[in-house]
Chain A
Amino acid sequence: MAKFRGAIVVDTDRCKGCGVCITACPLGVIELAKEVNSKGYNYSFMANPEKCIGCASCAVTCPDGVIKVYKKAL
C-alpha cells in the first residue's frame, strides 16, 4: 500500500492540453479530457485519483504551471 495519497488540481482554463504531464506521471493518473476549455484545448484531469501519490512530477514538467499538487501521509 502506498504510504501517501496525493491529488492534483488543474487550472483547466489555462491548460493547453500538451500532454507532457501524462508522460511525466509514473502511475498513469492523468488523462486528457474529452471536453475542451474556453480556448478549445482538451485539458488534463485526474482520471485515476486513487493511484496518485503526490510526487509532483506532472507539476514540475507542466510548461504553463497550471497544476497544484497536494500530498497527505496516511
Chain B
Amino acid sequence: MSEITLQDIIQPENLVYEKSKLLTDKRFHYCPGCGHGTVHRIIAEVIEELGIDEETIGIAPVGCAVMAYDYFDVDFQEAAHGRAPALATGIKRVWPNKVVFTYQGDGDLAAIGTAETIHACNRGENITMIFVNNGIYGMTGGQMAPTTLEGMKTATTPYGRKPQWEDGTPNNGFPLQITKLVAQLPGTRFVTRQAVYDAAKVRNCKKAIKKAFQNQMENKNGVNFVEIVSNCNSNWKMSAVDANKWLQENMLPVYPLGDIKDNFELINK
C-alpha cells in the first residue's frame, strides 16, 4: 500500500480538477491573491458545465476586470464605464436566445453605473449580473468607493471614511448597499451575496452563479444578481492571506452572505 508513488497518482485517469478549458492560456494580470481570478475561473466552469459557451455573451466592465474578454473563450463586448447593464439590455433584446451576463466591479456597478444598474433591474431584463465588491477603486490606486466601509483608510480618505461630521453634516457618506437596494425592485428575480475567500465559499458561489445562469436559460424573467464580496490586497495594503482574514472580520458584518431574494420574494433575515 505504501509503495504508491507520485507517478502512479499523477496519471490522466486520476485527474479530478483542472482549470476550465474556457479560460484562455493568457495569464491573469490581476495582483497575486485577487478574487477576480477565482470568480473568472468559476464563471468559466459554470459556462462549461452548462454547455453554453457558443450562446454566451459577456459584457466586460471598466475597472480591474476591463480585460476580461482576453481571458474567456466566449463572445465578449466591452462597455463604456458603468454601462454594462445597458449594453446587456440591448444585446439580450436583439438576441433573446443568447445568455448574456455582465461582469462588474463596485466602482463600475455601484458608482458611475448606478443609474444603469437600477434601471436595468427595475425593467426586469432577463440578464445575469455578476458584481465583484471589494470596497475600493482597485484599478486607479485605491480611492474611496461608495461601498467603502466606515472608517476604512483609502487614498482619498487617509483618516478613514467618515460618513458624517460630529454635528451631523454630511461628509463621505455611508457604505452603499446596492445589492439590498436592487433586491427591493420588482424586476429582480434572484439576488444573492457570496464570497470566494475559502473553498466552501467558492463552491457555494459557484452554485449561485450556476443558478443565475440557469434561470436565464430557462427564460425566467427578471434580473439575476450575484454580488461577490472580494478582496483587494494591494490597495488594502496587506498580503493576500491577511486580506482574506480582514474581509471576514470587517466586510462580512456590513455585507452578510446569503440569498437576499429568490423567485421575486425577499428572504427575511
Residues in A lying within 8 Å of B, measured CB to CB: 1, 5-7, 9, 14, 16-20, 22-24, 41, 49, 54-57, 59-72, 74
Pair A23/B244 contact, Cβ less than 8 Å = yes
Pair B241/A67 contact, Cβ less than 8 Å = no
Given contacts A19-B240, A23-B244, A63-B30, contact A57 B199 (CB under 8 A): yes
Pair A59/B17 contact, Cβ less than 8 Å = yes
Pair A74/B4 contact, Cβ less than 8 Å = yes
- For chain B, which range describes its interface: under 10, 10 to 19, 20 to 34, or 35 or more residues? 35 or more
Given contacts A49-B6, A63-B30, contact A70 B11 (CB under 8 A): yes
User: Which of these, A18, A57, A60, contacts B33 with CB under 8 Å?
Assistant: A18
Complex contacts, B233 vs chain A, CB 8 Å: 18
Pair A41/B4 contact, Cβ less than 8 Å = no
Pair B9/A74 contact, Cβ less than 8 Å = no
A34 to chain B, nearest CB (A): 17
Pair A69/B27 contact, Cβ less than 8 Å = no
Whose C-beta in chain B lies nearest to the C-beta of A46?
Answer: B6
Per-residue contact bits, chain B 114-157, to A (CB 8 Å; 1 contact, 0 not):
00000000000000000000000000000000000000000000
B57 to chain A, nearest CB (A): 22
Pair B202/A20 contact, Cβ less than 8 Å = no
Q: Which of B34-42, B61-69, B166-174 contacts A (4 or more CB under 8 A)?
A: B34-42
Pair A67/B17 contact, Cβ less than 8 Å = yes
Interface pairs A-B: 8 shortest CB-CB = A63-B37, A18-B33, A16-B32, A65-B19, A18-B32, A57-B199, A18-B240, A69-B17
Pair B36/A61 contact, Cβ less than 8 Å = no
Decide yes or no whether B18 CB sits under 8 A from chain A: yes
Residues in B lying within 8 Å of A, measured CB to CB: 1, 4, 6, 8-11, 14-20, 23, 27-28, 30-38, 41, 196-199, 202-203, 233, 239-241, 244
Q: Is the interface of A mostly helix, strand, loop or mixed?
A: mixed
The distance in angstroms between the C-alpha atoms of A45 and B4, with both chains bound, is 19
Pair A7/B6 contact, Cβ less than 8 Å = yes
Given contacts A23-B241, A57-B199, contact A17 B16 (CB under 8 A): no
Pair B203/A60 contact, Cβ less than 8 Å = yes
User: Which of these, A1, A5, A19, A65, contacts B241 with CB under 8 Å?
Assistant: A19
Whose C-beta in chain B lies nearest to the C-beta of A73?
Answer: B14
Complex contacts, A62 vs chain B, CB 8 Å: 37-38, 41
User: Which of these, A14, A57, A60, contacts B27 with CB under 8 Å?
Assistant: A14
Pair A69/B15 contact, Cβ less than 8 Å = yes
The distance in angstroms between the C-alpha atoms of A9 and B31, with both chains bound, is 22
Pair B198/A64 contact, Cβ less than 8 Å = no
Whose C-beta in chain B lies nearest to the C-beta of A63?
Answer: B37
Given contacts A72-B4, A72-B8, contact A63 B17 (CB under 8 A): no
A38 to chain B, nearest CB (A): 11
User: Which of these, B10, B23, B199, contacts A65 with CB under 8 Å?
Assistant: B23
Complex contacts, A23 vs chain B, CB 8 Å: 198, 241, 244
